[in-house]
Amino acid sequence: KAGVTQTPRYLIKTRGQQVTLSCSPISGHRSVSWYQQTPGQGLQFLFEYFSETQRNKGNFPGRFSGRQFSNSRSEMNVSTLELGDSALYLCASSLPTPVNEQFFGPGTRLTVL
């Protein structure tokens, strides 16, 4: 069974630009969660989507948004990029239950210059 895939793996953007990251969950997984990992803050929860609906949201500004499609694939978007948005963005998917045993993709390394 294929794992969680994320594209692109690496991305370099400049301040003020916007970016869209993509995540394809494991087949049959309907929950997709996104996390930001930085050296200072560790892994921070961004949001979770289940059946195309945002079910949970972390404490991030509105510049961070996401969506989920009918095939469970998910995208996250960051608008008006800031230097502090440089991080590893991880996507995780899980079965409907237990949803908290999540399977992570390799991440997208975003660098904002």
Residues that bind another protein (CB under 8 A): 4, 31-33, 35, 42-45, 48, 50, 55-56, 58, 90, 92, 94, 96-107
CB nearer to another protein: give 56 or 80.
56
Residues whose CB is less than 8 angstroms from the CB of residue 74 and which lie 6 or more positions away in sequence, other chains included: 22, 23, 25, 32, 34, 49, 66, 67, 68, 91
CB nearer to another protein: give 18 or 27.
27
Q: Do 45 and 56 contact (CB within 8 A), yes or no? A: yes
Q: In angstroms, give the least distance from the CB of 45 to another protein.
A: 5
CB nearer to another protein: give 48 or 85.
48
- Looking up tokens 């996390």 gives 35
- Whole-angstrom Cα distance, residue 100 to residue 88? 20
Q: In angstroms, give the least distance from the CB of 80 to another protein.
A: 25
Q: In angstroms, give the least distance from the CB of 101 to another protein.
A: 6
Query: Beta strands 87-94 and 108-112: pairing type?
Result: antiparallel
